[in-house]
C-alpha cells in the first residue's frame, strides 16, 4: 500500500488490500492461459506506480500477471527469466535505500521507473503462445479465501482497527526516538515486540520517531507505523524519505494534520522532515532526521529552521539531528529554539560503548510559554541503537 502512495492507513485498509492481493495470486493461474494479456497487464500494472494511488489496483494486477507468466514458463527458459525478474525488482527495492550512498541516486528517486523497465523486459522475454496450465479447483480457491477471511475477522477482533483518541490535557509527555529501521542493536533482529512493550510501559503522548520502516524489503516488509497503531491505538502521520518504504513518523493520542513535509537538501541518503498540527492541544510539531556530515547538517539546519518558522509556526522541533551540542547545526537551530534539557544526558546514541554520541533533541520555541516539568533519557534501554528522550511539558 505504501508503494502505491498511501502513507497513512489502519488495520481495515491493510486487511482489505491483503485479501485483494491474495485473490490476485489465486486468479493469476487462470490468466496464464492468455500470456499476451498477462504481459500487457504486468507492464500496465507496473506503470500505475507513476499515478499514485492507482497502484492499489495496478500492483495486484501486476502480481497476478507475474504469477501467470511464471506458471506458463515452467520447464522453460522463461522460468529462469521469471526468477531473474523477481530478483531484479527485489534488488531495486532494497537498493532504493542505499542508492545515494553508492552513487546511484536514481535508485532512490525513481524506483517506479526501474520496476517498470524490469517489467517490460520480463514481459517481452516471457511472452509465448498459449500453454497448458492446470488451474486450481473451485474448492481450493474457496478454501483459501475462507481461511483468509476467518483470519481477517480474528485479527480485526483482537487489535485496534483505528486510533484511540484521548481527551485534551495540559501536561503531555513528548518523546523523540530513532528506532533503527525496526532492528534491535548488535543482533539484527526485529525489535517490534520490544518496542511495543516499551511504549505500553512508558505511555508517551506524542512520539517523534525516526528510521521508521513502512514496508522496506530489507525488513521483510514489516510496517512499524501499522504495528504501533494496531497494538497501542496511536494515530500517526508518516513521511517516507524513500519511495514509501522508509522515513519518519509522528505518533499521537490526538487527531493530527500534516502541515508540510520535505526531504532536506542532502549529499547522502534522503533526510526527511515533517510538520504536523494537533488542534486539541494547540501545538504544531516538527519531526526531523538529519544527515551524517557536519557540513550537510549545517546546511539542513538552515532549511529546517525556515521550515519550522513558516506558518503555522512549530512550537516543538524533535528528532535525530546527528549533531553534537557544540556543532554549527545546533547553533543554528537554537537561534529561535531552546533545548528542553537544562542538562544534556550522557548520550542518546550508544553502539556497544564503542560509538557514543549525544545527537537527539527536543527543542522548544523560545517565545513559547510552555513549562518543562521534567525531562530525561531512558539511557539503559537497548531496543534500538538510540535511546528514548522525553520531556514532560505543561502547555500554556
Q: What is the pLDDT of residues 178-216, one digit of tens each?
A: 998 877 777 667 788 899 999 999 999 999 999 999 877
The Cα 315–Cα 319 span in angstroms is 14
Exposed e or buried b for every residue in 204-227, given b needs 16+ CB within 10 A?
A: bbbbbbbbbbbbbbbbeebbbbbb
Half-sphere exposure (Cβ direction) of 116: Cα atoms closer than 13 Å: 14
pTM: 0.91
Which residues have a Cβ under 8 Å from the Cβ of 41 and sit 6 or more positions away? 31, 61, 62, 64, 65
Cell for 268? 547522502
Does residue 84 carry a pLDDT above 80? no
Write the CB contacts of 376 (distance below 8 Å, at least 6 apart in sequence): 345, 389, 390
- When pLDDT is averaged across residues 70-82 and rounded to a whole number, the result is 63
**Residue 88 reports pLDDT greater than 80:** no
Question: Grid coordinates in use for 325?
Answer: 551540542
**pLDDT tens digits for 229-272?**
999 999 999 999 877 678 999 999 999 999 999 999 988 788 99
CA distance 293 to 271: 12
Q: 62 and 46 in contact (C-beta within 8 Å)?
A: yes
CA distance linking residue 82 with residue 73, whole number of Å: 8
**DSSP string across 20-48:** HHHHHHHHHHHHTT-HHHHHHHHHHHHHG
pLDDT in tens, 316-368: 999 999 999 999 999 999 999 999 999 999 999 998 888 899 999 999 999 99
Question: Which H or E run includes 121?
Answer: helix 111-126
**Average pLDDT for 273-300:** 97
Domain annotation for the chain: domains and CATH numbers? 11-126 (no CATH), 171-394 (3.60.10.10)
Q: Report the pLDDT value the prediction gives residue 5, as an integer from 0 to 100.
A: 85
What per-residue confidence (pLDDT) applies to 232? 98
Task: Specify the residue for cell string 534539557.
Answer: 341
- The per-residue pLDDT for range 129-181, each reduced to its tens digit, is 555 667 778 888 889 889 999 999 999 999 999 999 999 999 999 999 999 88
Whether 76 has a pLDDT exceeding 60, the answer reads: no
Amino acid at each position: 500500500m505504501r508503494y502505491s502512495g498511501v502513507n497513512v492507513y489502519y488495520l481495515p485498509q491493510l486487511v482489505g488490500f491483503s485479501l485483494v492481493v491474495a485473490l490476485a495470486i489465486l486468479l493469476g493461474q487462470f490468466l496464464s492461459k492468455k500470456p499476451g494479456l498477462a504481459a500487457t497487464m504486468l507492464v500496465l500494472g507496473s506503470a500505475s506506480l507513476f499515478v499514485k494511488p492507482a497502484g492499489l489496483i495496478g500492483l495486484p494486477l501486476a502480481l497476478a500477471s507475474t504469477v501467470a507468466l511464471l506458471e506458463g514458463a515452467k520447464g522453460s527458459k522463461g522460468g529462469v527469466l521469471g526468477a531473474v525478474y523477481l530478483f531484479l525488482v527485489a534488488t531495486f527495492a532494497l537498493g532504493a535505500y542505499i542508492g545515494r550512498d553508492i552513487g546511484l541516486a536514481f535508485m532512490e528517486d525513481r524506483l517506479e521507473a526501474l520496476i517498470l523497465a524490469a517489467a517490460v523486459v520480463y514481459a517481452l522475454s516471457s511472452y509465448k503462445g498459449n500453454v497448458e496450465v492446470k488451474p486450481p479447483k473451485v474448492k481450493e480457491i474457496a478454501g483459501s479465501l475462507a481461511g483468509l477471511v476467518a483470519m481477517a475477522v480474528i485479527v480485526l477482533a483482537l487489535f485496534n482497527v483505528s486510533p484511540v483518541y484521548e481527551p485534551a490535557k495540559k501536561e503531555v509527555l513528548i518523546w523523540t526516538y530513532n528506532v533503527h529501521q525496526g532492528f534491535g542493536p548488535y543482533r539484527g533482529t526485529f525489535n517490534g515486540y520490544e518496542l511495543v512493550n516499551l511504549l505500553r510501559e512508558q505511555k508517551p503522548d506524542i512520539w517523534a520517531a525516526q528510521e521508521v520502516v513502512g514496508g522496506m524489503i530489507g525488513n521483510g516488509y514489516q510496517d512499524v507505523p501499522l504495528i504501533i497503531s494496531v497494538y497501542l491505538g496511536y494515530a500517526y502521520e508518516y513521511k517516507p524519505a524513500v519511495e514509501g518504504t522508509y522515513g519518519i513518523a509522528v505518533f499521537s493520542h490526538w487527531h493530527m494534520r500534516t502541515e508540510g513535509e520535505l526531504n532536506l537538501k542532502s549529499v547522502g541518503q534522503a533526510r526527511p522532515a515533517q510538520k504536523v498540527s494537533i488542534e486539541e492541544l494547540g501545538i504544531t510539531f516538527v519531526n526531523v532526521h538529519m544527515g551524517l556530515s557536519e557540513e550537510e547538517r549545517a546546511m539542513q539546519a538552515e532549511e529546517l529552521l525556515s521550515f519550522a518558522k513558516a506558518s503555522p509556526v512549530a512550537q516543538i522541533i524533535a528528532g535525530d539531528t546527528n549533531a553534537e551540542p557544540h556543532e554549527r547545526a545546533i547553533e543554528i537551530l537554537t537561534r529561535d529554539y531552546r533545548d528542553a534539557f537544562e542538562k544534556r544526558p550522557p548520550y542518546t546514541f550508544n553502539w556497544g560503548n564503542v560509538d557514543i554520541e549525544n545527537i537527539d533533541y527536543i527543542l522548544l520555541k523560545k517565545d513559547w510559554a510552555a513549562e518543562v516539568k521534567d525531562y530525561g533519557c531512558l539511557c539503559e534501554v537497548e531496543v534500538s541503537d538510540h535511546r528514548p528522550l522525553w520531556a514532560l511539558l505543561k502547555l500554556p
